[in-house]
């Protein structure tokens, strides 16, 4: 769809990491004209492909701002709201959904948000290959794919191995914030986070946390609430 450098690559990492189990399904669904135009116009300045070929300097990407990584942002409405509410923090937002990438860039431009960068590709490769140790001030994982079938549970993102990788990229004191409306996944998240030596629960009772004011109520969350799905937030600090 896009020429090199003009927009996100269809498969930025190529076949170098194909053997790793993916926690997502690549989606290149229909892109609207407005999203395509935003990608063509803004990707060279505000977008990057997760190809695993270089190490980034997150602070340099945002002119010295502290940087939070957001994994999976849907159509980007909540990301744009958080960026607008906290202009002193850079949000590095990674996803594989091309329409969402274009929509988030369009929202950033329309609202004058220069504290958003959009990454295209696998968040694990981004963390493992392209971000240096102790470089992130926070990590947000909102409504990841719950992979509800038991045989697919190994694809869930929040696993001990992922947490070890995340801990290596988070600064001490950084906040790891997860949210899900899938209760069995919420319980698994709480179990593996509570057991991990690099994280400590901010909830005094050791359980789930109230939704913090900085996380907007998303359209996806509203749909879950309409279906009677309770939403659980987990807020853990990097030791």
Examine residue 20 and state whether it is found in any structural domain, yes or no.
no
- What is the Cα–Cα distance from 85 to 107, expressed in whole angstroms? 14
Return the beta strands (E) in the chain as ranges. Answer: 47-49, 67-71, 90-95, 116-120, 136-142, 170-180, 199-201, 232-238
State how many domains the chain has. 1
Write the CA distances from 173 to 95, 96, 214, integer angstroms.
25, 29, 18
- Give catalytic status of residue 145 as yes or no: yes
Task: Give the torsion through C-alpha atoms of 7, 10, 13, 14, to 10 deg.
Answer: -140
Check pLDDT > 80 for residue 14.
no
Identify the H or E element spanning 82: helix 77-85
Q: Residue 102 — left, alpha, or beta (φ > 0 → left; ψ -120 to 50 → alpha)? A: alpha
Quote the CA–CA distance of 78 and 84 in Å, as a whole number.
Answer: 10
Average pLDDT over residues 91-120: 97
Would 158 be classed as within a structural domain?
yes
Q: With 60 as the cut, is the pLDDT of residue 34 above it?
A: yes
Mean pLDDT value of segment 155-169: 97
Mean pLDDT for the stretch of residues 166-187: 97
Whether the pLDDT of residue 92 is over 70: the answer is: yes
Give me the domain span that covers residue 138.
Answer: 37-238
Residue 160 forms part of a structural domain: yes
Q: Which residues contact 74 (CB under 8 A, 6 or more apart)?
A: 95, 97, 100, 143, 218, 219, 220
Strands 116-120 and 47-49, by their bridges, are parallel
Report pLDDT for 225.
83
In a domain, 23, yes or no: no
The pLDDT of residue 114 is above 60: yes
Report if residue 1 sits inside a domain.
no
From 11, 114, 134, 145, the catalytic residue: 145
């Amino acid at each position: 769809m896009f020429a090199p450098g003009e927009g996100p690559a269809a498969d930025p990492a190529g076949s170098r990491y194909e053997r790793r189990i993916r926690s997502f399904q690549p989606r290149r669904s229909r892109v609207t004209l407005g999203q395509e135009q935003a990608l063509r116009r803004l990707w060279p300045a505000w977008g990057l492909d997760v190809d695993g070929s270089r190490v980034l300097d997150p602070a340099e990407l945002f002119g010295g701002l502290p940087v939070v990584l957001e994994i999976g942002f849907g159509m980007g409405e909540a990301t744009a709201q958080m960026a607008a509410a906290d202009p002193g923090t850079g949000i590095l937002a990674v996803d594989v959904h091309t329409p969402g990438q274009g929509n988030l860039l369009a929202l950033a431009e329309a609202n004058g948000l220069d504290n958003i960068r959009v990454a295209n590709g696998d968040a694990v490769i981004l963390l493992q290959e392209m971000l240096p140790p102790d470089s992130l001030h926070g990590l947000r994982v909102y409504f990841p794919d719950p992979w509800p079938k038991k045989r697919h549970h190994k694809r869930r993102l929040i696993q001990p191995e992922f947490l070890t990788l995340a801990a290596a990229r988070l600064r001490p004191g950084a906040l790891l914030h997860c949210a899900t409306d899938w209760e069995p996944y919420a319980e698994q998240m709480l179990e593996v986070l509570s057991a991990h030596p690099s994280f400590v629960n901010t909830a005094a009772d050791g359980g789930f946390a109230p939704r913090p004011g900085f996380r907007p109520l998303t359209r996806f969350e509203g749909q879950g609430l309409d279906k009677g799905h309770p939403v659980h937030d987990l807020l853990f600090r990097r030791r």
